[in-house]
Amino acid sequence: MSIGNTDETVATDAIVPDSITATALPANGDGLVSRKPTARVQVVKPLEVSTDTAQKHPPNSLRNTGIVSVFFWLVDELRRKSTGSTSTINLFITYFNHAILLIIFFIISIYKNYLYVRRRIHLKFLNLTYFPNKSPHIIRDDVNKLSRIPKRVSCIVNFKDEEEENGGIDGLINDISELTAWSVSAGIQELSIYEYNGVINDYYLELNRYINKNLKNYFGTEYVPNISIKSPHSSKVLVNKPEKPIDLYVNLLSKVDGKPTIVELTKTISELAINRELSVKDITIDLINDELVELVGSEPDLMIIFNPNLDLQDYPPWHIRLTELYWEPDNKDITYAVFIRALQNYAKAKVNVGK
């Protein structure tokens, strides 16, 4: 390869990069071509990254959503979508659709807030009407008006945060002690307390001590009902006076007493059948029912859900086949008014047992 005496000449067999293209020129006597290299650089345009990464959600009609904030959000969406639109018809349709959505949203919001206020006022009125005043005689008078009462009652309660009113473990223990006193006064034989995480299982002694203290406030120090407290997945059973008959059995349930228990029972029965320790013909509905009753407890006649909506929270499904369910909408407090209204609803209910 030879190079001429000028910087503007390159050999004809020189390697030209992909991004450089040479313009062909007439060759001189030395077999060289004279040209000025023309560079063509391929410019790669960077990808445009959208800055609007926030996920859009439809307007929510729940009470905790501000009507004013949703209104401004819809107006902003309308302004953003209508920017650059040149069609008058499309712009009119967009405004019309958003106006319809706003009207529907406001109607639903007003209706839901009206129901919420009405229910809260109704609950306040019930709390004033039904007030036990820590007297078992008042509770007995309310129960005597009913045609029947349940023998077994189950209550779904929630563990509240420390910041909330009557929250924390102390609030939960106080609620359970009140439910125990109301159940004893009403003549209920068995009370099941279901808390999803089973937090109360670590406070057996505190719960037993507070229940006895609360029962003394109701019945006095001379006659204190005898209570038995136990948990299906624990060997702990607390009885104040073992030599005397039990007035009320209190069972503490949690999520492990539901579907996980059914799964473990299924595995056990399968292993027994494989090892020929149990015949397949002996595996019946009655056998499974007897085992689950022994592991968890009997099926309650009435379940009181102290939640603003119907939420069973993974309650043992086998034990609510014929259970009467009761809850008060927009209520999350454990009050005597809800308790006695549940008993009244049970007395009026008609249970049809099918085969």
- pLDDT tens track for 42-66: 444 443 434 443 444 333 434 455 5
CA 100, CA 116: separation in Å to the nearest integer? Answer: 24
User: What's 134-258+296-348's CATH class?
Assistant: alpha beta
Could you give phi then psi for residue 80, rounded to 5 degrees?
A: -70, -40
Angstrom distance (rounded) from CA 124 to CA 129: 9
> Any idea where the domains of the chain sit in the sequence?
67-123, 134-258+296-348
Rounded CA gap, 109 and 99, in Å? 15
Alpha-carbon span 249 to 239, nearest angstrom: 10
Strands (E), the chain: 9-10, 20-21, 33-34, 38-39, 152-156, 190-194, 227-230, 237-239, 248-253, 302-305, 324-327
Q: What pLDDT shows up at residue 279? A: 85
User: pLDDT (tens digit, 9 = 90+) per residue, 229-277?
Assistant: 998 877 778 888 888 889 999 999 999 888 888 898 889 988 888 888 8
- What average pLDDT does this structure show over 214-221? 90
Closest of 193, 191, 192, 202 to residue 169, by C-alpha = 202
pLDDT bin (cut points 50, 70, 90) of residue 31 is: very low
Reduced to 3 states (helix: H, G, I; strand: E, B; else coil), residue 73 is: helix
Which range of 29-38, 39-48, 71-80, 167-176 scores highest in mean pLDDT? It is 167-176
Sign (positive or negative) of CA dihedral 18, 21, 22, 23? positive
